[in-house]
Structure 1
């Protein structure tokens, strides 16, 4: 398959835990991506959170998969790295930083065993600075990579024949990915719990 061949079904997935500072990077990127961009009907945008193996059904239906996540690449905090296709499983399990990460490597293995592994796979990872601040926000160097990570995803979608378009109208409240005051802005503006 050439790089420019159109994929029938594409999943844009953010994984991570917003309760552990930079561990929430993937969720915050997919949330912001959905806020800014409309996508063709063959593209699904999903907050995968820490669902682990529950994501297998979504992954096995995808011909193309873009994953946003906090990944320990051993780089400077806040540095982005794009990994593609056969290289992705190696990085989703290289160093266990959280429970969801091992689970996602298992998700890819399960989809492969079912014979429904995505034809194209891309991991947009950001090197975290802090994974210990329970209830804390993304750190500044990681938060600064939300926009660049979205740009990488837009380039991939265009390459895969499903370009995203800037929204002309804001996302309706009932169509947001995160609600109940855990969206990025509400979450970071609330008062932190006492120690």
Structure 2
């Protein structure tokens, strides 16, 4: 590793709830389309919450990809910097992982070592209530621009981010959960209820 600070490219979110998986799909795509030096860590943070505290303490700068309810039109990409990040991810929480991200930043600061240079690359989701679903087309279309913003941000700070001549396999995603496998392996609507156990839903409707 070089003498510079270790940078972090982090994706957070839940792959199982449609556009909630934006952050994780971004780090998957980043790993596929860019080669980086050993002074950059690319990581799938998933929904690990407080387990991510050490990542924010040990790396600087930090790029975070996430789906965030900004109140914007669906599919809108927005960049948020540094101390503004907790306010955005905590104001309109879409899921437990966002409360976790806000807490992660707060805990890292309390421990005296949170990254001082952070960029949140967020997208306004189209659909969340689709268990087992994948990203909607409008959100997939935002990934290239999100990757470009991350690469530019790191390059401005002196880190080498090199576009690959052809996409490579990503090793940041658990095998079998890569985008292609996830989408082709999805059960039909008939085989897997998307919104809960049908027996419970029917009972609730009768009540």
Taking structure 1 as the reference length, the TM-score comes to 0.91
In the alignment, is residue 96 of structure 1 matched against residue 69 of structure 2? no
1:28-76 C-alpha deviation (Å, 9 max, x unpaired): 0010000111112111000000000000111100121100000000111
RMSD: 1.6
- The alpha carbon displacement at 1:156 in A equals 0.3
Measured in 1, the distance between the counterparts of 2:32 and 2:63 equals: 17
Provide the aligned length of Structure 1 versus Structure 2. 188
Select the structure of larger CA radius of gyration: 2
* Matched ranges for 1:51-90 at <5 A: 51-90=48-87
CA distance in 1, matches of 2:151, 2:79: 13
Distance in 2 of aligned mates of 1:133 and 1:63: 35
Query: Which secondary structure does the structure 1 equivalent of 2:174 belong to?
Result: coil
- Structure 2 unaligned segments of length 5 or more: list them: 194-207
List structure 1 segments (4+ residues) > 4 angstroms apart after TM superposition: none
TM-score, scaled to structure 2: 0.86
Is the CA contact 2:18–2:129 (under 8 Å) kept in the aligned structure 1?
Answer: yes
Matches of 1:67 and 1:45, distance apart in 2: 10
The DSSP-based 3-state class of the residue aligned with 1:73 is coil
Counterpart CA distance in 2 for 1:183 and 1:75 is 28
| 8 Å CA contact 1:7, 1:161 repeated in 2 | no
SS in structure 2 of the partner of residue 93 of structure 1: helix
